[in-house]
Amino acid sequence: MLSSLFQDAFWEILIELAVIWIGVYLVFRFLQGTRGAGVIRGLGVLGVVLMVLWLVMVNTESFGRLQLILNYFVGLLAVLLIVIFQPELRQAAIRIGQTKFIRWGGVEQVKTIDAISDAADFLSRNQFGAIIAIERNVQLGGLVEGGQQIDATISSRLLESIFWPSSPLHDLGVVVRGNRIVAAGVQFPLAEEGSLAAKFGSRHRAALGMARESDCVVIVVSEETGMVSIGVDGRLETGLKADEVRDALRVHLSANPESSAAEDDRDEQVTEEHT
């Protein structure tokens, strides 16, 4: 059995090894930074042990009972992997289903980015906690149903009023769809304990949880420090300045930076004409 693996042409073996290496690399890259990263290391060691046992049993044609148990164990292991990596598999399905060309854009998108960036800057300077999820391709319908329906045109003032400390909705999250705030007071899923350093609170865990559970972009403002962070594609980028928040939103929402700059120039021109 083992000798038959090397009977193929050398170039065929190289291609097969390259495909296997690329597959393993993509799996590790995808799981990097998730709870599956630690699990996959342990499974790698277990896989090596099982492979050695399987090669020994196949080549010696002995240990029949052990081989039978191993066959059942491998089947059970496949089911366990599906259960263990359920969040990662769901995230992979979301990423595969993403279609970059079906995106809202234009002036509405620029205004949405400006409103969120301005609100984040205001909330940061005043150390008002906030968490805002901006939908991309996957709608957050299930979460929205559990919050307070708003369906209002987005503006920095509206976001600031929602997260004002005396507001009944300030503790939970806001969901933005296109140029509208569809819901507030939304409970976001939390990332697992230990996913972030101890200095980060529940809002940051919620931002990371949302970034892992969906393809949305999440802006979070720390109530303790005023630090602004962004959760996207399963990771959390922390300590962003006001202009970095705006630039990050333009990149992740595929807005045209030049169009926003042009919009700012037009606003300045209008202001000068009126003055």
What span, in angstroms and rounded, lies between the C-alpha atoms of 67 and 44? 20
| Percentage of residues of the chain with pLDDT beyond 70 | 64
Closest CA to 104 of 154, 142, 148: 154
CATH code given to domain 107-274: 3.40.1700.10
Mean predicted confidence (pLDDT) in 161-174: 92
Q: Residue 8: is its pLDDT beyond 70? A: no
What tokens does 70 get? 């191993």
- 192 contact partners, CB below 8 Å, separation of at least 6: 35
Point out the least confidently predicted range of 123-137, 141-155, 251-265.
251-265
DSSP 184: E
Per-residue confidence at 262, pLDDT binned at 50, 70, 90?
very low
Write out pLDDT tens, residues 183-197: 999 999 888 887 888
Average pLDDT, the chain: 77
What span, in angstroms and rounded, lies between the C-alpha atoms of 234 and 174? 19
Q: For the chain, where are the alpha helices, taking DSSP H only? A: 10-31, 36-60, 64-84, 86-96, 107-125, 141-145, 156-162, 202-213, 242-252, 257-274
Burial 151-170 (b: 16+ CB within 10 A, else e): eeebbbebbbebbeeeeebb
